[in-house]
Structure 1
Amino acid sequence: MKIRFLGGAGTVTGSKTLVESNGVRILIDCGLFQGLKTLRELNWEPLPVLPETIDYVLLTHGHLDHCGWLPRLVSQGFRGKIFCTGPTRQITKLILLDSAKIQEEEAERANREHYSKHEVAEPLYNMEQAAAVSPFFRTVKPHEEIALDADITALFSKAGHIIGACSISLHLEGKTLVFSGDIGRDDDVLMFAPEKPVQADYVFLESTYGNRLHPHADVLLQLETFITNTIDKGGTVIIPGFAVERAQSLMFLLWQLKKQGRLPDVPFILDTPMGANVLEVFTQNTSWHKLTPEECSGMLQRFTITSAFEDTLATIADKQPKVILAASGMATGGRILSYLEYYIGIPETTVIITGYQAEATRGRKLLEGAREIKIYGRYFPVRAKILQIEGLSAHGDQNDLLNWLSALKVAPKKVFLVHGENQPADELRIRINERYGYPCTVPLMGSEVEL
């Protein structure tokens, strides 16, 4: 059996792990690379194996860094089956169509304003290619064993993180391989605690926050303070938010503050149409999260939902103080860029960063104190106040990741630490070895191991 780390190794993006066994090829996740240009350029490169030779894709969840390369895979010849849970299937369709739309719009803008280095800028994939992925989906239920081949089965277990997210146990050649996907928090605002594996010969564990602990801060108080201080100065609050889970968590918390009379009476705007669509997924899949349908409805009523780009421009032109929640969460694309173009240079503006920011993304640069950021080929001075709330991450921290391993009845032969930058992964490796004595390794991108 061979394992090839095609993405999500040494980085938190582009998750792709290829399993080859007795002529069967299984790809665990098929994510898009984000952040560093050297990584983003990999999105344009072909896989080291022909897509038509891949038999199955098993999706852990619907975030772009885990599903966003599927249109390329299909357009290059993949004709197998894509297995995932029902909510992941719904979320992935929304994510892919939104990603394609953004890419088409950015390519069109680059060609119109002539800031691309290419003679003709093209999207990585278009809306038609994103839609072409849908026929390959097959829905699975958690805890139901799926036969992929005569001697290969897969089992999905809830991982928290976002709605529909699962870890995957793969049984083949007499071995059990467990792929964590992204592990949620034990005390998340919306999602239930992740289910722990009890048996694994080999574990492939994410390490996004492998070297960090989430602070035990009063998130409601932080939000109240940051927003009230900004509005009192006549400024606008901008919150980049991932359309799946983070947007809903923030909406829930802001709704709670509004109900308690702790926020000023200003417009609250959700400018991520996909985020509103995701709320419908929440309503349709109540067993996956803590919200009731009534709470979902109540949250929506407190927000103005912006769909058309003309409404985005009207919101920007409106000078009154307001709170804007817009995608994307790492400011790599989407409506958030239009707001940053206008507001990032205004000292009264506050930008609140609430989630993990991958290396070299605009969100990461803002947190690191960048004095200017590049948007659509132009540089904008950063005069806004940049603040961070660390207690809202959808990823488990070091303790959550260590705790996730605690139910294993027998020590695994090896733990592979993936989906993390090198330093967090290595620190988690040390902690796992100290606590459990499990042998750990941090694989390199493109490396291959035999099991």
Structure 2
Amino acid sequence: MKITCIGGVGTVTGSKTLIESNGIRILVDCGQFQGLKPLRELNWEPLPILPSTIDFVLLTHGHLDHCGWLPRLVNQGFDGKIYCTSPTKDVAKLILLDSAKIQEEDAKLANEGKYSKHEIAEPLYTVAQAEKVFPHFRVINPNESVSLDAEIEAVFTNAGHILGACTVELRLENKIVVFSGDIGRDNDVLMYPPTKPQKADYVFLESTYGNRLHPDTDPKLELEMYINNAVHNGGTVIIPSFAVERVQSVMYLIWKLKEENRIPNIPYIIDTPMGISMLELFVNNRKWHRLRSDEFTAMCKSFTLISDYQETINTIYNKQPKVVIAASGMVTGGRVLSYLERYIGLPETTVIIIGYQGEGTRGRKLLEGAKEIKIHGKYYEVKAKVLEIEGLSAHGDQKDLVNWLSNMEEKPKKVFLVHGENEPADELRIKIQEKYGIECVIPMMGQVFEL
């Protein structure tokens, strides 16, 4: 078989891995590139093969960096089946529609404000194009084998991380090839721990946090301290958050703090339509998360949920101290930008970063101490306090990733480290080789492997 790393190598975005075997072409994930402009520009480039020649897409989960290029794939001729779990199908629908809407709005703003370098700014894809993806989805249950061809089978197993996220095990040519997807944490607030693979000839393992260990600090305690300090100073707390799973994790911790009377009685606001829609998915997919029904109901009641943009405007101009959780998690788009336009220049504001920030994103720049950030063509001075809570990441750290390989009956022939920047991937390579003696390879973009 031949495997080509089309995306998600040397970076944590744009995940796409092509498998070719006996005339069948399978794409594991079809993600959108985010962050640095050279990466974003890759979204406009064609694949190295015609999308019409791809038979199947196997989707590990619904995050944009794993599903966000599907509308382009379908628009360019893909007519096959997209296999995924039921929650992943629902999450991907929400994320693709939201992404398309944001891109349409950004293109409109760029054209009206004339700050695009192009004569006419166009969205990467439209809402109508995103909707054309949906008929291709085929739902499979975890741990059940699905036959893609007479000699090719796929099995999806729980990966933790977010609702519906799975590792994909491909059985073909008398070999087992495992694609980890994004691996969750063993002690996640809401998700169950990931299932460890037992057999594999080859493993494609994510390496997002390959050089980091999550701190032993208590994220709940950190939230308590940051919120209390901000309110004491008369300021607003803004938490940029991924709408899928992270919003709900932060809601849970804040709800527990409110229940224990450890934080003040001020407005706690969720301003992300997609994050609110995700709450319904949590209700409909109870077997995928730890939250009890009564806990979930009480948690939701303790927040003000905002969907209408006029409510966003009203909230922004309300000077009362408040805590606002808004997408997007890497501050690349969404309603959090509207809040930052108003609040990033106020020294009493606290911005809490709670997840991985890709290279070149506004979130990464804020963490690295940027003195100003650019939003919708304008520059804003950063006077707000920018703090980080590392313990809320939905990605496993170096220890989790190494431990994920611990149940193997026999050593894989090779482990390919993907979905990570070069330095984290290289440190993870050393750790895996030292502990297990497994040869590790760090692929380059476009590199082809014959297995």
What range is the shorter-chain TM-score in?
A: over 0.9
The one-letter code sitting in structure 2 at the alignment partner of 1:253 is L
Match of 1:330 in 2: 330
The RMSD of aligned alpha carbons is 0.5
Deviation (angstroms), 1:296 = 1.9
Superposition pairs of residues 23-422 of structure 1, within 5 angstroms: 23-422=23-422
Deviation (angstroms), 1:107 = 0.8
Structure 1 residue 424 corresponds to structure 2 residue 424:
yes
The one-letter code sitting in structure 1 at the alignment partner of 2:19 is V
Secondary structure of 2:18's aligned partner: strand
Can you list the C-alpha shifts for 1:393-444, whole angstroms capped at 9, x where unaligned? 0000000001100000011010000000000000000000000000001000
Gaps of 5+ in 2: none
Match of 1:12 in 2: 12
Secondary structure of 1:324's aligned partner: strand
Deviation (angstroms), 1:343 = 0.5
Assess if the C-alpha contact under 8 Å between 1:283 and 1:292 holds in 2. Answer: no
Secondary structure of 1:387's aligned partner: strand
The one-letter code sitting in structure 2 at the alignment partner of 1:220 is K
Secondary structure of 2:182's aligned partner: coil
Deviation (angstroms), 1:300 = 1.2
Distance 1:226 1:350 in 2: 8
**Percent identity of equivalent pairs:** 67
Distance 2:45 2:376 in 1: 23
Distance 1:367 1:443 in 2: 28
Distance 2:437 2:204 in 1: 16
User: TM-score under structure 2 normalisation?
Assistant: 1.00
Deviation (angstroms), 1:295 = 1.8
The one-letter code sitting in structure 1 at the alignment partner of 2:167 is S
The one-letter code sitting in structure 1 at the alignment partner of 2:441 is T
Secondary structure of 1:407's aligned partner: coil
Distance 1:221 1:186 in 2: 20
Assess if the C-alpha contact under 8 Å between 1:266 and 1:322 holds in 2. Answer: yes
Deviation (angstroms), 1:298 = 1.4
Deviation (angstroms), 1:297 = 1.6
Structure 1 residue 445 corresponds to structure 2 residue 445:
yes
Assess if the C-alpha contact under 8 Å between 1:202 and 1:414 holds in 2. Answer: yes
The one-letter code sitting in structure 1 at the alignment partner of 2:241 is G
Secondary structure of 2:3's aligned partner: strand
Secondary structure of 2:33's aligned partner: coil
Deviation (angstroms), 1:309 = 1.2
Deviation (angstroms), 1:299 = 1.5
Distance 1:219 1:374 in 2: 29
Deviation (angstroms), 1:262 = 0.7
The one-letter code sitting in structure 2 at the alignment partner of 1:167 is T
Distance 2:338 2:74 in 1: 31
Secondary structure of 1:321's aligned partner: coil
Distance 2:194 2:285 in 1: 17
Deviation (angstroms), 1:293 = 2.2
Deviation (angstroms), 1:265 = 1.0
Instruction: Tell me how many residue pairs correspond in the alignment.
Output: 451
Gaps of 5+ in 1: none
The one-letter code sitting in structure 2 at the alignment partner of 1:368 is E
Distance 2:209 2:39 in 1: 20
Can you list the C-alpha shifts for 1:347-369, whole angstroms capped at 9, x where unaligned? 00000000000001000000000
Can you list the C-alpha shifts for 1:353-388, whole angstroms capped at 9, x where unaligned? 000000010000000000000111111100000000
The one-letter code sitting in structure 2 at the alignment partner of 1:415 is V
The one-letter code sitting in structure 2 at the alignment partner of 1:109 is L
Secondary structure of 1:26's aligned partner: strand
The one-letter code sitting in structure 2 at the alignment partner of 1:106 is D
Deviation (angstroms), 1:294 = 2.0
Distance 2:422 2:120 in 1: 36
Deviation (angstroms), 1:174 = 0.6
Assess if the C-alpha contact under 8 Å between 1:147 and 1:153 holds in 2. Answer: yes
Can you list the C-alpha shifts for 1:326-348, whole angstroms capped at 9, x where unaligned? 00000000001111111000000
Secondary structure of 1:290's aligned partner: coil
Secondary structure of 1:416's aligned partner: strand
The one-letter code sitting in structure 2 at the alignment partner of 1:399 is K
Distance 1:303 1:379 in 2: 32
Distance 2:153 2:61 in 1: 19
Distance 1:308 1:417 in 2: 42
Secondary structure of 1:208's aligned partner: coil
Distance 2:280 2:403 in 1: 32
Distance 2:283 2:196 in 1: 26
Deviation (angstroms), 1:190 = 0.2
Secondary structure of 2:102's aligned partner: helix
Deviation (angstroms), 1:76 = 0.5
Assess if the C-alpha contact under 8 Å between 1:63 and 1:95 holds in 2. Answer: yes
Deviation (angstroms), 1:75 = 0.6
Can you list the C-alpha shifts for 1:167-223, whole angstroms capped at 9, x where unaligned? 000000110000000000000000000000000000000000000000010111100
Distance 2:278 2:266 in 1: 24
Distance 2:8 2:438 in 1: 21
Distance 1:321 1:119 in 2: 42
Q: After TM superposition, which residue ranges in structure 1, 4 or more long, deviate above 3 angstroms? A: none
Deviation (angstroms), 1:113 = 1.1
